[in-house]
């Protein structure tokens, strides 16, 4: 190890220790996440100023920081399947009402799909206002390689149809899906959990003693899983610190400046769509300002980690402990929101790309004959887009291939992809939380006392489990 690397790691470890001490002193979760984000921004900027984005020292430093950042994400991913299974099963055991289950699913999925269509329209509008076009853009070696990679994966995207995607949700081998082996594994586990819950409620009247034993087993398992969630979430400020330090340290200011119009257009669309989420929250009678304050920590994590699926545990905790949404609804919205209706990755991004690329093949991107099919393709193509790294790329492949547009040109944006993906992921998670909050409020299930409370609720402290 070089002296510079040792110094970098020493400063990073000192920052992590500071965040740990804040947790020991029981400072609020939000303050700790803010502090981790701020420290990461400062340290990442310092690293870049001292060494340069392409420096080997930064690459070596980030390799060690990756142990913390990616390690934290892997821990979150570890608890996703157990959390989804026991939470949904327990919710159904309490619900004992199939019609309510249908309403929850319909409202959650409907909100996700409608907001995706709105997001696509906003992406098109921003592309128009900023005059975005792929005509005249030049390709570097990395961008050419990325274009070739996209073309190589085009066949997979072209094979996908809505019926085949829906069919893939059915868990033919639920134990395989518990390993996350397929892109649609999360939804498959949700459906398997629903099947278990409904089957258990079916024996409640015939074999009450068996039902009570199973219900007790699920309750005990749920308490243990929620304890695991709390333990992992305690690492959130440190994980956010490591992740944002990596991103800032290796970001190329030159590449960002070259494509600044796309960056500005993207974030304008993302912010505008977030405002749409707040309008929906206000429309169901909730305070948007209080809502933003309560969901900030999970959005900060999504922004730095760039994984919608990894944010599921924190999203569920936020909805239940801070927004007053029942756990069953929160799990439905978070799970479905990680696999469909992603407003950022599957809504804004592919719509903007299609509008940018269309002029290169002589198509007017703002004609009704192009826009209407594009909105339909984006909305239905968002079904089954995995909430992990590469989800936006796959969504773009589906849309561009369906619209008969050259997919290789999407590789021109590779240099700013991480920067844009941060905002897209945060919007994805915001969309799933919005779906859960709206569904809960429409069904009259929201605990308004919890939502309206100004008391700080730490997500990494064990919550009362009924």
Contact between 244 and 40 under an 8 Å Cβ cutoff? The reply is yes
In angstroms, how far is the first alpha carbon of the chain from the final one? 51
pLDDT at 464 over 60: no
Q: What pLDDT shows up at residue 98? A: 59
Q: What is the pLDDT of residues 55-111, one digit of tens each?
A: 899 999 999 999 999 999 999 888 888 988 888 888 888 766 656 778 888 899 999
Q: According to the model, what pLDDT value does residue 392 have?
A: 72
The percent helix, strand, coil of the chain (3-state, each to 5) is: 80, 0, 20
- What stretches of 27-97 show up as alpha helix (H) in DSSP? 29-51, 56-95
What does pTM read for this prediction? 0.82
CB-based contacts of 270: which residues, under 8 Å, 6+ apart?
Answer: 344, 348, 423, 424, 426, 427
pLDDT tens track for 22-51? 999 988 888 899 899 999 999 999 998 888
Alpha carbon distance 340, 193 (integer Å)? 18
Report the pLDDT value the prediction gives residue 137, as an integer from 0 to 100.
56
Instruction: For residues 78 and 228, give the distance between their C-alpha atoms in angstroms, rounded to a whole number.
Output: 10
Mean pLDDT to the nearest integer, 310-339 = 89
pLDDT reading at 146 higher than 70:
no
pLDDT in the model for residue 388:
47
Return the number of other C-beta atoms located less than 10 Å from residue 433's C-beta: 29
Please give the pLDDT value at position 150: 53
Residues 294-308 have pLDDT tens digits of 999 999 989 988 888
Phi-psi region of 305 (alpha: psi -120 to 50; beta: other; left: phi over 0): alpha
Q: What percent of the chain has pLDDT over 90?
A: 41
Mean of the pLDDT values across residues 437-445? 94
- Give the C-alpha separation, 346 to 92, whole Å: 30
User: 274-294, pLDDT tens digit by residue?
Assistant: 999 999 999 999 999 999 999
Mean pLDDT in residue range 324-349: 87
The string over 233-272, giving b where at least 16 C-beta atoms fall within 10 Å of a residue's C-beta and e elsewhere, is: bbbbbbbbbbbbbbbbbbbbeebeebbeebbebbbbbbeb
DSSP 210: H
pLDDT value at residue 142: 46
How many other β-carbons are positioned within 10 Å of the β-carbon of residue 191? Answer: 17
pLDDT digits (tens, 9 = 90+) for 418-433: 788 889 999 999 999 9
pLDDT at 395 over 90: no
Virtual torsion, Cα 314, 315, 321, 323, nearest 10 deg: 150
pLDDT band at 145 (very low <50, low <70, confident <90, very high): very low
Q: How far is CA 127 from the centre of its chain?
A: 23
* Residue 138 vs residue 123, higher pLDDT: 123
Question: Which of 123 and 346 is assigned the larger pLDDT?
Answer: 123
> With bands split at pLDDT 50, 70 and 90, how would you rate the model's confidence at 259?
confident
Position 387 scores a pLDDT of 47
Pairwise pLDDT comparison (389 vs 21), residue with the higher score: 21
* Most confident of the ranges 190-199, 275-284, 351-360: 275-284
Placement of tokens 């809960």 in the chain: 440
Distance (Å, whole) CA 220 – CA 211: 14
Q: What is the pLDDT of residue 148?
A: 54
Q: What is the pLDDT of residue 141?
A: 46
pLDDT category of residue 163 using cuts at 50, 70 and 90: confident
**How confident is the model over 383-411, as a mean pLDDT?**
70
Instruction: Give the three-class secondary structure for 162.
Output: helix
Q: Using CB atoms within 10 A of its CB, is residue 452 exposed (0-12), middle (13-18) or buried (19+)?
A: exposed
Q: Measured between alpha carbons, how far is 303 from 297 in angstroms, rounded to an integer?
A: 10
Q: What is the CA radius of gyration of the chain?
A: 22
Which of 462, 33, 17, 416 has the alpha carbon at shortest distance from 241? 33
Pick the residue with more confidence: 16 or 403?
Answer: 16
338, HSE (Cβ side, Cα atoms, 13 Å)? 33
For the cut 80, the answer to whether the pLDDT of residue 144 exceeds it is no
CATH topology of domain 3-452: 1.10.3860
Q: Which of the four pLDDT bands, split at 50, 70 and 90, describes residue 162? A: low
pLDDT at position 440 over 90: yes
Residues in the chain: 466
Query: Please, where are the H alpha helices in 284-364?
Result: 288-305, 312-321, 327-337, 349-357
- pLDDT winner (highest mean) among 60-74, 129-143, 161-175: 60-74
Q: Is the pLDDT of residue 321 over 60?
A: yes
């Amino acid at each position: 190890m070089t002296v510079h690397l040792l110094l970098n790691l020493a400063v990073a470890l000192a920052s992590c220790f500071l965040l740990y001490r804040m947790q020991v002193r029981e400072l609020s979760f939000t303050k700790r996440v803010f502090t981790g984000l701020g420290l990461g921004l400062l340290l990442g900027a310092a690293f870049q100023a001292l060494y340069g984005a392409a420096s080997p020292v930064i690459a070596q430093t980030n390799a060690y920081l990756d142990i913390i950042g990616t390690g934290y994400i892997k821990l979150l991913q570890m608890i996703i399947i157990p959390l989804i299974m026991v939470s949904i099963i327990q919710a159904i055991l309490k619900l004992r009402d199939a019609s309510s289950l249908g309403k929850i699913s319909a409202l959650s999925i409907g909100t996700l799909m409608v907001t995706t269509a709105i997001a696509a329209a906003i992406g098109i509008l921003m592309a128009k206002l900023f005059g975005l076009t792929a005509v005249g853009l030049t390709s570097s070696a990395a961008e050419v390689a990325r274009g070739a990679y996209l073309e190589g994966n085009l066949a997979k995207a072209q094979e996908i149809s809505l019926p085949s995607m829906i069919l893939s949700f059915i868990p033919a081998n639920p134990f395989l899906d518990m390993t996350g082996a397929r892109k649609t594994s999360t939804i498959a586990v949700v459906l398997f959990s629903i099947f278990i819950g409904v089957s258990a409620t079916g024996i409640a009247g015939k074999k009450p003693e068996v039902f009570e034993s199973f219900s007790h087993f699920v309750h005990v398992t749920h308490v243990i899983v929620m304890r695991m969630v709390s333990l992992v979430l305690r690492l959130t400020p440190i994980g956010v610190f490591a992740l944002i330090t990596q991103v800032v340290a290796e970001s190329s200011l030159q590449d960002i400046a070259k494509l600044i119009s796309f960056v500005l257009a993207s974030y304008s669309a993302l912010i505008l769509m977030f405002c749409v989420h707040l309008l929906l929250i206000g429309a169901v009678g909730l305070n948007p300002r209080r809502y933003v304050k309560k969901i900030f920590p999970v959005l900060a994590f999504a922004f730095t980690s760039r994984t919608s699926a990894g944010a599921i545990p924190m999203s569920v905790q936020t909805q239940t402990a801070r927004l007053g949404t029942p756990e069953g609804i929160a799990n439905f919205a978070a799970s479905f929101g990680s696999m469909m209706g992603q407003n950022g990755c599957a809504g804004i991004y592919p719509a903007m790309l299609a509008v940018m690329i269309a002029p290169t093949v002589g198509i007017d991107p703002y004609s009704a004959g192009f826009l209407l099919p594009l909105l339909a393709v984006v909305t239905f193509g968002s079904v089954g887009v995995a909430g992990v790294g590469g989800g936006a790329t796959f969504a773009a492949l589906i849309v561009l291939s369906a619209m008969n547009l050259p997919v290789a040109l999407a590789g021109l944006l590779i240099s700013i992809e991480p920067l844009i993906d941060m905002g897209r992921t945060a919007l994805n998670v915001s969309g799933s939380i919005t779906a859960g909050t709206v569904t809960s409020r429409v069904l009259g299930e929201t605990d308004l006392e919890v939502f309206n409370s100004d008391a700080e609720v730490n997500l990494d402290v064990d919550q009362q489990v009924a």
